[in-house]
Amino acid sequence: MLEFKRHRRLRSSANLRSMVRETVLQKEDLIYPIFVKEGENIKNEVPSMPGVFQISLDLLEEEIKTVTDLGIVSVIVFGVPKDKDDVGTSAYCDHGIVQQAIQKIKMVNEELVVIADTCLCQFTNHGHCGVIEEGVILNDPTLELLAKTAVSQAKAGADIIAPSNMMDGFVAAIRQGLDEAGFANIPIMSYAVKYSSAFYGPFRDAAHSAPSFGDRKTYQMDPANRLESLREAESDVLEGADFLIVKPALSYLDVIREVKDNFAYPVVAYNVSGEYSMIKGASLNGWIDERAVVMEKLTSMKRAGADLIITYFAKDVAKWLSE
Ligand code: PBG
């Protein structure tokens, strides 16, 4: 008698498959990125990200209503400012584009969880995430500016601060800044593990944040490293992070699992711009089934250990999940 296991028994019907399904994607898992641009009546589609727009403050209300009606509970805000200087002043001034956008969003929907991306690269004329001296990106002088940015975002009404700039000590500096300003209850969603990735290319079109010289390799991580992700996550936890982001997601599912297994904190996968553009490009050409591919990809991020996913597909996925 031939002896073997019959795994297909549990796959024989749709209902049975749904009963043994290990990973389920829900609307509450989704965080939708929004690009706000200074000016009026602006709705610019990002050429390398079909379906993603830079929008001006006056069109934000409509966008927030759409997002809310779809059942999305959280957005992350990125600013595209008019004015840039060498120290990124528009990132931390009280009337900055991000601060204004946060206020507006909270006015439209108080309940929506508003996450502020806290970085300088969109706001500096050199496009780097920190202060520069003779071509070197300085760590410690940047920390003070990040803390200032975070406090101004919290003052505007941000529910969560998400620092993405990869200077050492940014969580400690921001935690201290928030606490001293009376925001002890505002959580930090740290971009704890952020690789220096070619998959950010389309985002830099969307946010006008490409570095004007060099690259980000002295602060963002080397894609070849796994153990380093544990050191990065560990220091952020010790410094007071409440969530840990791994970014990008698709090429780093092993790292998501590693972080999930080693730290008892919510893990967030950032399904970045290049990952979006690849799927969009292929599906617009009719080469893949967009809906099926997106659902499979996001499910794989959850299976890898992500609790939440920042994704430009959030609106589509929320729609599909309701059908
Ligand atoms: C800012 C920032 C970047 C992204 C999010 N925040 C760009 C970068 O580090 O160059 C990328 C997001 C994406 O590609 O979707 N530091």
The three-state DSSP-derived secondary structure of 193-261 is EEECCHHHHHHHHHHCCCCCCCCCCCCCECCCCCHHHHHHHHHHHHHCCCEEEEECCHHHHHHHHHHHH
pLDDT of 205 reads 85
Q: With a threshold of 0.85, does the pTM exceed it?
A: yes
Chain segment 20-33, per-residue pLDDT in tens: 999 999 999 999 99
Distance (Å) from CA 311 to ligand 1 centroid:
12
Which of helix, strand or coil describes residue 77? strand
Nearest CA to ligand 1 atom 14: 200
Distance (Å) from CA 261 to ligand 1 centroid:
25
Chain segment 307-318, per-residue pLDDT in tens: 999 999 999 999
Specify if 301 maps to a domain.
yes
Could you say which residues of the chain have pLDDT below 70? none
CA distances to 54, 94, 134, 194, 318 from 153, rounded to whole Å, are: 20, 8, 30, 22, 27
Q: What is the CATH number of the domain that holds 283?
A: 3.20.20.70
> How many CA within 13 A on the CB side of residue 289?
4
Residue 275, ligand 1, Cβ within 6 A: no
pLDDT of 53 reads 97
CA–CA gap between residue 254 and residue 271 (Å, rounded): 14
Residue 35, ligand 1, Cβ within 6 A: no
37 included as an active-site residue? no
Question: What is the secondary structure of 256-289 as a DSSP string?
Answer: HHHHHHH-SS-EEEEE-HHHHHHHHHHHHTTSS-
CA–CA gap between residue 313 and residue 276 (Å, rounded): 7
pLDDT of 208 reads 85
Specify if 171 maps to a domain.
yes
Specify if 236 maps to a domain.
yes
Distance (Å) from CA 293 to ligand 1 centroid:
23
Residue 269, ligand 1, Cβ within 6 A: no
Specify if 10 maps to a domain.
no
Number of domains in the chain: 1
Helix (H) or strand (E) holding 186: none
319 included as an active-site residue? no
Pick from 170, 78, 166, 81: nearest CA to 125: 81
Residue 250, ligand 1, Cβ within 6 A: no
pLDDT of 209 reads 86
Domain containing 318 equals 25-322
Angle at 51 between CA 49 and CA 52, to 5 degrees: 60
pLDDT of 145 reads 97
Distance (Å) from CA 1 to ligand 1 centroid:
59
Residue 162, ligand 1, Cβ within 6 A: no
Specify if 92 maps to a domain.
yes
Which of 35, 137, 146, 200 to mutate for ligand 1's pocket (most ligand atoms within 8 Å of CB)? 200
Percent of the chain with pLDDT over 90: 95
| Residue 99: both structure tokens together | 């601060």
Check 104, 148, 247, 280 and give the catalytic one: 247
